[in-house]
Chains A and B, each alone.
Chain A
Amino acid sequence: MNADLLKDATATALLAMLNAGEVTSEELVRGYLDRADALKRLNVFVHLDPENVLDQARAVDAKRKAGEAVGPLAGVPVAIKDVLCVEKEPTTCGSRMLKDFRPPYDATVIVKLRQAGAILFGKTNMDEFAMGSSTENSAYGPTLNPWDEARVPGGSSGGSAAAVAADLAPLSLGSDTGGSIRQPAAVCGVVGIKPTYGRVSRYGLIAFASSLDQIGPFTHDLADAALLLKVISGRDERDATSVDQPVPDYSATLDEKPRSLRIGVAREFFGEGLDPEVESAVREAMRVYEQAGATLKEVSLPNSKYGVPAYYIVAPAECSSNLARYDGTIFGHRAEDWSPKHPGEEDLHPLVRMMMASRAEGFGAEVKRRIMLGTFALSAGYADQYYNQALKVRRLIRNDFDAAFKDVDVILGPTSPSPAFKLGERTADPLAMYLSDIYTITANLAGIPGLSVPCGLTRSGLPIGLQLLAPAFAEENLLRTARVFERATDWHRKRPGLS
């Protein structure tokens, strides 16, 4: 097979070739496997079983050849963030804690991908339990940014973003709790979407912060994003928080001009700490929209400045509860030795010491930090001051969006305050790392959808992302509005110069 076929390939283009009989899924998969092998140094995949993916591809090819009906992603590889359960396949969440875990069931999005005929193309690296903004907090070591291998791919879905950016798969899935799809999409130069909370079932997504987590796609362009989002969306009775809303055919309406193009520019998204080159690219995007006939209006989200502090109470509180299940009893890592080691431990019950030793060995520093922060925020005497107050501030943040969306259809701003930073640059300073998600976090707290599209490159050739936010369940209009920009520019066609 012509290796150049895979470079720059979108799922939409590959599907056209598959359906026309110009290429088989097995040929495609072999090409991607070769490329994964050649680019192993990027550390994108934590698990990739060539025989398994080839078997899937041959099965789809056989169906197509027999003239049987095939799904909308038939034969197309999709890389999967290692936070999603795939039956009998390693699912480790980037953690030592789950290094031997093989789920007994598929996540709902995996069931939907299988039904659509997609090829489940390996598990991608991630920050441990999706906690981080750089994919450096992984038990498997960091993933490298395909545009500059000395830099991070963003996080926590950095492996999935890098997989698409490096053409190791045309599509991938990630999860976004505070920006973990949009931020890596921005710094890897791809499209990333966080759907409305409840739009995509979280069943089988290993929980970090249940009221914030949402699964979404990484793609090269919006046509692919529309295609993949449609496949994974919809109510699921196994997820009580999934919402019964009709799922539009995003692909069918993508190229229709939005009914109105009223774009809000939040003044709080252009404050201190924003890289000048990022600001310049985003302001250029505003000019592109004006030329396309959009009305730009300044809006205010006055409580967005409390987004990061509210998030770093709400998310750790939920994480401390969700991760309590990893204690070395029924699954996960168990320490070999839990005899007393430090002062005071001799008074603890052996079962408690076993749990403490197992969790200490199984979790990395960032996960421990967040579990302790959450445990503190929920503890007697502090819950009102921290947790309940954070939930009240969350309401204020949501109210800001509700007020802004009375006047505008979408809100525009930078996705990430800076381009990809260097590996190790922020690992010693948790607060500096937390601020990487300053523009994305409020959408998770409010439950609204957001996306990042490529909108420029720095002088040193690093990608810049444009973020668009919309009211709950307005993904169709969000995609169409983003498509206006994509049609007017060619940033989504830029690729890293990998060899």
Chain B
Amino acid sequence: MSLSTEDVAKVAVLARLRLSPDELQTFTGQLNAIVDYVAQLQEPDTSDVEPLAHGVEVRNVFRDDVRGPALPREAALANAPKRNSESFLVPAVLD
């Protein structure tokens, strides 16, 4: 298959990445080369093969539903790009 610049622009929005027009052209070419390369994954017959998501068997691990220690608010906010005394500050979400 072939990815158009419109396809890549749509993926960029889904991935939350702003691309300049030049970057859009460059990534379109590179992603097409990679998608062409990975097309060989269609070669083997996998009709009876179960997908393998982990190299070792992984099962759900449940813990007791008991509240444990949490990060103090100051530590949780310490790496915030913008904050006030008790919250993360972001652009208004509601109009």
Contact = CB atoms under 8 A, between A and B. Distances in A.
Given A328-B81, A396-B46, A376 B40 contact: no
A344 B16 CA distance: 14
Interface stretch (A126-134, A252-260, A302-310): A302-310
Interface string B2-43: 010001110111111111110100010011011101101111
B75 interface: yes
Interface string B43-68: 11010011111111010010100000
A167 to B, nearest CB: 34
Among A100, A373, A445, A472, which residue has the most Cβ atoms of chain B within 10 A? A373
A197 B38 contact: no
Nearest to A305: B40
A101 B79 contact: yes
Contacts, number: 173
A310 B41 contact: yes
A384 to B, nearest CB: 10
B31 A369 contact: yes
A101 B23 CA distance: 27
Contacts of A358: 81
B41 to A, nearest CB: 5
In which size bucket is the chain B interface? 35 or more
Among A101, A363, A394, which residue has the most Cβ atoms of chain B within 10 A? A394
Contacts of A444: 55
Interface string A219-263: 000000000000000000100110100000000000000000000
A359 B18 contact: yes
Contacts of A197: 54-56
A371 B15 contact: yes
Nearest to A239: B61
Among B42, B56, B75, B90, which residue has the most Cβ atoms of chain A within 10 A? B56
B13 A356 contact: yes
A306 B27 contact: no
A165 interface: no
A390 B51 CA distance: 8
Given A104-B75, A376-B31, A430-B30, A391 B90 contact: no
B15 A375 contact: yes
Interface string A279-316: 00000000000000000000000010110011011000
Interface stretch (A53-61, A117-125, A347-355): A347-355
Given A368-B27, A394-B52, A375 B41 contact: no
A379 interface: yes
Given A328-B81, A372-B8, A376-B11, A240 B56 contact: no
Contacts of A368: 17, 19, 23, 27
A240 to B, nearest CB: 4
Given A104-B76, A211-B54, A329 B90 contact: yes
Interface string A420-450: 0000000000110000000000001111100
Given A369-B30, A390-B41, A243 B56 contact: yes
Contacts of A338: 91
A369 B19 CA distance: 11
A352 B90 CA distance: 11
B11 A430 contact: no
B93 to A, nearest CB: 6
Contact of A372 (B12, B21, B38, B44): B12
A350 B91 contact: yes
B44 A396 contact: yes
A291 B24 CA distance: 57
A100 B53 CA distance: 34
Contact of A329 (B56, B75, B88): B88
Interface of B: 3, 7-9, 11-21, 23, 27, 30-31, 33-35, 37-38, 40-44, 46, 49-56, 58, 61, 63, 71, 75-76, 78-82, 88, 90-93
29 contacts: A100-B79, A102-B78, A104-B75, A196-B55, A211-B54, A212-B55, A240-B61, A241-B54, A306-B40, A327-B16, A331-B80, A333-B81, A341-B20, A342-B19, A351-B91, A353-B18, A372-B27, A372-B31, A375-B14, A375-B15, A388-B51, A389-B41, A390-B41, A391-B53, A392-B52, A393-B41, A393-B46, A394-B52, A472-B55
Given A351-B90, A447-B55, 19 more contacts: A196-B56, A212-B55, A309-B38, A330-B80, A348-B13, A352-B13, A353-B18, A356-B12, A356-B13, A369-B34, A371-B17, A373-B34, A386-B38, A390-B41, A392-B50, A393-B44, A396-B49, A445-B55, A446-B55
The 3 closest A-B CB pairs, nearest first, are A447-B55, A391-B51, A334-B81
